[in-house]
Amino acid sequence: DVQMTQSPSNLAASPGESVSINCKASKSISKYLAWYQQKPGKANKLLIYSGSTLQSGTPSRFSGSGSGTDFTLTIRNLEPEDFGLYYCQQHNEYPPTFGSGTKLEIK
Amino acid sequence: EVQLQQSGAELVKPGASVKLSCKTSGYTFSNYYMSWLKQMPGQNIEWIGNIYGGNGGTGYNQKFKGKATLTVDKSSSTAYMDLSSLTSEDSAVYFCARMGYYYDGTYYYGDYFDYWGQGVMVTVSS
């Protein structure tokens, strides 16, 4: 199985700032990486797939980049609703596998 | 609006089985795969398996073969997951999630999860 290593595990930032979350695959996954947001009491939300394609409804302050083994999720101009848990997931091969998550907290 | 509504929390005894449901609306059920995923408290998300709404064809993560059985009821657009021989290691939140895909004119690409149920907590305890 493809191992996904996500960093950092925790991140604190203030509204209006920009942050980046990294995801590294144990082997090349081409461009096939997705990013999700998880918040208590809400359904998980797909933000980005295929590395950089924004899912319908994802605000433009979110962007994804990378290919091969190294990927980054960047959130610019943080809004209060952006705080929560973020996961990456490779969708290049079966079984789909997830990173361990990044908790984005308000500073 | 696509919606996936999961059944309520379960408290089950060790050795027992439980059947979870995921009722869908807002899209053509038979055109998509549905996946089930597991998340233990504070842990990673794991993919259990998927099932095609059109014909019930299934695929499983090797880790969960023999533990999970996926079925669908097309008439009610509902997906089900049976978990058997439950132990404390099965205590977790279980999600259903629709598998999204797109077509570039030549190939289909997908295997990401574009809509999720709210999750259901299964607690295995005597």
Q: Which chain A residues have a beta carbon less than 8 Å from that of B62?
A: 95
A95/B contact by beta carbon, under 8 A = yes
CB contact under 8 A, B112 and A101: no
Nearest CA in chain A to B48: A95
Instruction: Give pLDDT tens digits along chain B (126 positions).
Output: 999 999 999 999 999 999 999 999 999 999 999 999 999 988 999 999 999 999 999 999 999 999 999 999 999 999 999 999 999 999 999 999 999 998 888 888 889 999 999 999 999 999
In angstroms, the CA B60 to CA B64 distance is 7
> In angstroms, rounded to a whole number, what is the distance separating the alpha carbons of residues A36 and A80?
17
For residue A93, which phi and psi values (nearest 5 degrees)?
-150, 165
A42 sits in which H/E element: none
Task: Give the pLDDT confidence score for residue B110 in this predicted structure.
Answer: 87
**Residues 6+ away with beta carbon under 8 Å from A51:** A31, A32, A33, A64, A65, A66, A67, A71
- d(CA B67, nearest CA chain A) in Å: 16
Q: Which residues contact B54 (CB under 8 A, 6 or more apart)?
A: B30, B31, B74
Say if CB B45 and CB A87 are below 8 A apart: yes
- Which pLDDT tens digits describe chain A residue by residue (107 residues)? 999 999 999 999 999 999 999 999 999 999 999 999 999 989 999 999 999 999 999 999 999 999 999 999 999 999 999 999 999 999 999 999 999 999 999 88
Contacts of A100 in chain B (CB under 8 A): 44
Contact A46 B115 (CB under 8 A): yes
Contacting A residues, span 5-44, partner chain B, CB-CB under 8 Å: 32, 34, 36, 41-44
Q: How many CB pairs under 8 A join A and B?
A: 55
Q: Which residues contact B87 (CB under 8 A, 6 or more apart)?
A: B14, B124
Euclidean distance between CA atoms B92 and B38, whole angstroms: 6
From CA A33, how far away is CA A50, in angstroms rounded? 5
